[in-house]
Amino acid sequence: MMWVEEIETLPRSGLESIQLKRLQALVHRMYDKVLPYRAKMDAAGIRPGDIQSLKDLSRLPFTVKDDLRDNYPFGLFATPMDDVIRVHASSGTTGKSTVVGYTQADIDLWASIMARCLTMAGVTRGDMVHNAYGYGLFTGGLGAHYGIEALGATVIPVSGGNSRRQITIMRDFGSTVLLSTPSYALNLADAMSDAGVSPEELKLRVGVHGAEPWSQNMREEVERKLGIKALDIYGLSEIIGPGVSMECLHSEHGMHILEDNFLPEIIDPDTLEVLPYGETGELVFTTLTKEAFPLIRYRTKDISRLFLEPCGCGRTLIRMEKVTGRTDDMLIIRGVNVFPSQVEHVLVGIEGVEPHYQIEVSRDGNLDVMAVLVEVSEHIFSDEIRVLENLTKKIQAEIKDMLGVTCRVKLVEPRTIQRSEGKAQRVIDRRKL
């Protein structure tokens, strides 16, 4: 089932002509209304009339997080504040928060976008949707909330916290859909087992999880512990909030981008060149339909890949691979860009290997040396040396194949690599010392 089938199944040419018209209107509007962006265009020597095809997008200047900070709080808004009916903000770990604004049309657009996404997950009017995303300045809670209402399903605006009570509500109200971050879904699973409630006592069928990167292994854990189908949703407040892209029930390895609204590109974060479909790099978005806070070529710092292979659901929208890393984590080893997430991808595909690893980079003379510590399962570690040697060689070969970098792999016993509550420390770069 689709929310707007005529858009979601458009042939490329039809979709691209909509994108181009919207892009041209956007560039004119940004040039007229958003003075900091006009200054960038002037500096780059490009005029709104120069955008004649979608290829010309690459001639436009990027927008980066610092532009938002420099124009804090409302300096990049394209409409008068009288037309802005809501703001959201994300708390930056460094410095000022990022503030975004919405007109009534933006809020309506966002609701319909979220309704489209939830429809991809098979959610209908008959569903009872447990919305455990945080309500407040964070876009997750309210963004999802209005989408659920637009769809006509019943929303339970439970927000985060008090897991025990959430379990009671899920059981008593008969929640069928769970919206939460993946880590909170696992929290709820633990709270369920603590409370002696089994998944069979709940009516939960599907989970829509986003707002943080999560691995395939974590997906399997959520699915197993809650007895649901767990799907990935992607978004960021700068672009609109949740709903930029979403996995459908047929797509295990990619999220459909709602590209009639959000025009994606993948760039090389070093050279800033646009990369062809299929290649991994930094995701960049241009918002085609937003009024209050439109952005052109916003660098997300998220690492992904775009692909056009047809999907079993019939949607023609381009898909993006699950985001597993950030350019902030990028390493340059002997001139090659290496993302820890690529190492993780290799490891997830090899039997007997745990997705716990650590990359150590050092310098031997003038040469970078990369070592990867990998945890292996108990039974493999107790195996004979030859088995371990073969596994080591296999991992080295696959990493070389995937990343184009030679590394030294060291297998270690389960639970020897330090875990932290928050972000696991995947990289130790001794070159900086």
> Which of 363, 373, 301, 355 minimizes the C-alpha distance to 332?
363
Distance CA 37, CA 42 (A): 9
> Minimum CB separation from Zn ion for residue 187, in Å?
29
Distance CA 363, CA 396 (A): 19
- Contact residue for Zn ion among 248, 343, 361, 374 (CB under 5 A): 248
Take residue 252 and report the two structure tokens written for it: 């295990």
> Minimum CB separation from Zn ion for residue 251, in Å?
4
Site membership for Zn ion, residue 231 (CB under 5 A) = no
Site membership for Zn ion, residue 311 (CB under 5 A) = yes
- Give the residue carrying structure tokens 């709270």: 191
Q: Which residue, 68 or 317, has its beta carbon nearer to Zn ion? A: 317
N- to C-terminal Cα distance for the chain?
55
- Contact residue for Zn ion among 123, 240, 306, 313 (CB under 5 A): 313
Amino acid at residue number 363:
R
Site membership for Zn ion, residue 250 (CB under 5 A) = yes
Q: Which stretch binds Zn ion (CB under 5 A): 53-61, 210-218, 280-288, 309-317?
A: 309-317
> Minimum CB separation from Zn ion for residue 123, in Å?
15
> Minimum CB separation from Zn ion for residue 57, in Å?
25
Q: Which stretch binds Zn ion (CB under 5 A): 146-154, 250-258, 260-268, 383-391?
A: 250-258
Site membership for Zn ion, residue 7 (CB under 5 A) = no
Distance CA 218, CA 83 (A): 42
- Name the phi and psi angles at 45, rounded to 5: 70, 35
Q: Which residue, 41 or 248, has its beta carbon nearer to Zn ion? A: 248
The rounded radius of gyration (Å) of the Cα atoms in the chain is 23
Site membership for Zn ion, residue 251 (CB under 5 A) = yes
Q: Which stretch binds Zn ion (CB under 5 A): 70-78, 246-254, 293-301, 331-339?
A: 246-254
Q: Which stretch binds Zn ion (CB under 5 A): 60-68, 171-179, 303-311, 362-370?
A: 303-311
Distance CA 202, CA 193 (A): 13
> Minimum CB separation from Zn ion for residue 249, in Å?
8
Q: Which stretch binds Zn ion (CB under 5 A): 202-210, 311-319, 341-349, 373-381?
A: 311-319
Stretch 315-344 residues interacting with Zn ion (CB under 5 A): 315
What mask, x for binding Zn ion by CB under 5 A, covers residues 260 to 299?
----------------------------------------
CB-based contacts of 215: which residues, under 8 Å, 6+ apart?
A: 324, 344, 348, 355
Q: Which stretch binds Zn ion (CB under 5 A): 4-12, 148-156, 251-259, 299-307?
A: 251-259
Counting residues that bind Zn ion (by CB under 5 A) gives 6
Spell out the SS3 assignment of 364-425: ECCEEEEEEEEEECHHHHCCCHHHHHHHHHHHHHHHHHHHCCCCEEEEECCCCCCCCCCCCC
Contact 263, 338 (CB under 8 A): no
- What distances in angstroms separate CA 162 from CA 111, 133, 158, one per listed residue? 27, 13, 10
Bridge pairing between strands 353-364 and 367-376: antiparallel
> Minimum CB separation from Zn ion for residue 120, in Å?
7
Distance CA 206, CA 219 (A): 12
Q: Which residue, 257 or 395, has its beta carbon nearer to Zn ion? A: 257
> Minimum CB separation from Zn ion for residue 78, in Å?
32
> Minimum CB separation from Zn ion for residue 218, in Å?
21
> Minimum CB separation from Zn ion for residue 170, in Å?
27
Q: Which residue, 7 or 167, has its beta carbon nearer to Zn ion? A: 7
Distance CA 223, CA 1 (A): 23
Distance CA 25, CA 133 (A): 34
Site membership for Zn ion, residue 78 (CB under 5 A) = no
Q: Which residue, 178 or 313, has its beta carbon nearer to Zn ion? A: 313
> Minimum CB separation from Zn ion for residue 311, in Å?
3
Q: Which residue, 255 or 374, has its beta carbon nearer to Zn ion? A: 255
**E strand spans, 114-189:** 128-131, 154-156, 177-180
Question: Where do contacts with Zn ion occur on this chain (CB under 5 A)?
Answer: 248, 250-251, 311, 313, 315
